[in-house]
Amino acid sequence: MKILLVSPEIFPFSKTGGLADVAGALPRALQKNGMEVKLISPKYRCVTEKDFSLEPVIGDLKVPIKNTIESASLWKTDYNGMEAYFIGKDVYYNREGLYGIEGRDYEDNAERFAFFCRAVIESCRQTGYKPDIIHCNDWQSGLIPAYLKTLYKDDPFFHHTKTVFTIHNIGYQGLFEPGLLPMTGLPQSVYNMEELEFYGKINYLKAGIVFSDIITTVSKTYAEEIQTKDYGAGLDGVLRKRRKDLYGIMNGIDYEKWNPQTDPLIYVNYTYRKISARKRNKKNLQKEMKLAYRDYPLIGIISRLATQKGIDIAVSAMQTLLKKHQVEFIILGEGDRQYEDALQSISRKYKNRVSVNIGFDEALAHKIYASCDFFLMPSLYEPCGLGPLIAYRYGAIPVVRATGGLKDSVKNFNPKKKEGTGFSFRAYTEDALYRTMEKALYLYNNDKETLNKIIKQDMKMDWSWEEQAKKYIRLYRRAIKR
């Protein structure tokens, strides 16, 4: 089966969040299961020819857009025995950010990603590559199914091509002014409530949902939640209509990249057999981050600093925890200015107990997973949440709000039975978070035996991509049978 995986970000080429991890790891697992996979993404500034040994494939890829034909370039490189392709168009992609800069989206994102979608389709045609499945991810690739079912409907080239569309986060939809529709080249007739129209705007995510053959999202609970008014971000009705074609498949993580036994980015390597080595990682990190070394429980957060991630309740609960308990925090993230400022102000107040690191730092993320005792993710909503899965692998116990994928991945600790994989709470309040953190601290301070048992058990769980990739393959087959 020939699969083309389309993603606006793919690790290690580009990354802003979990989608990049998924797009980098799922193809490898698919390939191991016998699929012929190619990947395609924009050639952003960070995707340099030198760093990734890119070779030119087509110098003049013709892409119809804005009623004319524009030229793009197509590049490729080897990625673990697969071909990874990149659409080059400097005016659109040779920029500092992927989707925007300093928390603001680029103003021409409608055009940047309409162009990308059209270029993906044209690169198939112009290289003679006929995928069985085009697997699209998030709103940036949402127009691909729409183009295929409208402009390319009668093109025999794509007669046997089916589309799978994965929603990684329904909160990001790609909403644009309806006046931009002619720019995309789609017929005006798609601007109706059943198709691209969404409260007076065009909605790229909706295009993906409406026109793809199968829709997936990244956990079972999130697949249910997005069909409700509270979590559907306005698209719950559209999703309910397509509920028969909507599936939840939990993400895995890349077990080679995230492996405490071999990870070159952490201070000391270890396995579940020697969790005492985590202490040395912790001590080194505390030193590097100028945190006082005491055996206080270290709580880590690695997150985009967005409303979705529950940073507001985290900020409030942190202050109470710091006042009342012996704890230290290490935080890595970037995003909304208000959260960056609030966190930095706490770190000024608690100089050697709170380390706040604003920015995106892959190496530091690894060190934090390998060092912190608890990994905090109190999300307001969470499609999957890779953080706790990585935390498990490194023996950091997750503390999460039970929503979306977090509800599926974290089993709340039961003090009577001394069972669970982490700690979770339901109410989205500072108080619920605070009280749950207190339970975690209690375990840390009073029952090291159970704590260590949980760490070991968590490290031994399997959250790799192997089984999850098989679920995608079953869906690809189902799409093809139609």
d(C-alpha 187, C-alpha 189), whole Å: 5
Residue 395 φ then ψ, to 5°: 80, 25
Residue whose CB is less far from ligand ADP, 145 or 404:
404
Q: Read off the tokens for 220.
A: 């079972």
Residue whose CB is less far from ligand ADP, 161 or 421:
421
What SS3 state is found at 395? coil
Q: Read off the tokens for 181.
A: 């529709």
The contact mask relative to ligand ADP for 369-388 (x = CB under 6 A, - = no) is: ---------------xxxx-
Q: Which of residues 154-193 bind ligand ADP (CB under 6 A)?
A: none
Q: Which position among 9, 21, 340, 408 is part of the footprint of ligand ADP (CB under 6 A)?
A: 21
Residue whose CB is less far from ligand ADP, 384 or 454:
384
Query: CB neighbours (10 Å) of residue 140?
Result: 28
Asked if 142 is part of the footprint of ligand ADP (rule: CB under 6 A), the reply reads no
Asked if 97 is part of the footprint of ligand ADP (rule: CB under 6 A), the reply reads no
The CA-atom distances, in angstroms, between 43 and each of 60, 89, 104, 312 are 15, 7, 20, 35
Residue whose CB is less far from ligand ADP, 105 or 362:
362
Q: Which position among 365, 410, 443, 459 is part of the footprint of ligand ADP (CB under 6 A)?
A: 365
Q: Which of residues 297-336 bind ligand ADP (CB under 6 A)?
A: 302-304, 332-334
Residue whose CB is less far from ligand ADP, 9 or 111:
9
Q: Read off the tokens for 342.
A: 């609030």
Residue 237 CB burial class (10 angstroms; 0-12, 13-18, ≥19): exposed
Q: Which helix (H) or strand (E) element contains residue 367?
A: helix 362-371
Q: Read off the tokens for 77.
A: 């490189």
Residue whose CB is less far from ligand ADP, 238 or 343:
343
CB 260 → ligand ADP: shortest distance, Å? 14
Residue whose CB is less far from ligand ADP, 139 or 152:
139
d(C-alpha 242, C-alpha 246), whole Å: 6
Asked if 404 is part of the footprint of ligand ADP (rule: CB under 6 A), the reply reads no
Residue whose CB is less far from ligand ADP, 75 or 222:
222
CB 303 → ligand ADP: shortest distance, Å? 5
Q: How many residues bind ligand ADP (CB under 6 A)?
A: 19
Q: In terms of DSSP bridges, do strands 298-305 and 328-335 run parallel, antiparallel, or are they unpaired?
A: parallel
List the one residue out of 263, 278, 215 whose CA is nearest residue 242: 215
Residue whose CB is less far from ligand ADP, 191 or 360:
360
DSSP state, residue 17: S
Asked if 360 is part of the footprint of ligand ADP (rule: CB under 6 A), the reply reads yes
Q: Which residue stretch of 13-21, 130-138, 221-229, 264-272 sits at the interface with ligand ADP (rule: CB under 6 A)?
A: 13-21
Beta partners for residue 163, in sequence order: 134
What SS3 state is found at 465? coil
CB 182 within 8 Å of CB 198: no
Q: Which position among 36, 108, 361, 419 is part of the footprint of ligand ADP (CB under 6 A)?
A: 361
List the one residue out of 215, 238, 218 whose CA is nearest residue 228: 238
Asked if 18 is part of the footprint of ligand ADP (rule: CB under 6 A), the reply reads yes
CB 390 → ligand ADP: shortest distance, Å? 6
Would you tell me which residues interact with ligand ADP (CB under 6 A)? 17-19, 21, 302-304, 332-334, 360-362, 365, 384-387, 390
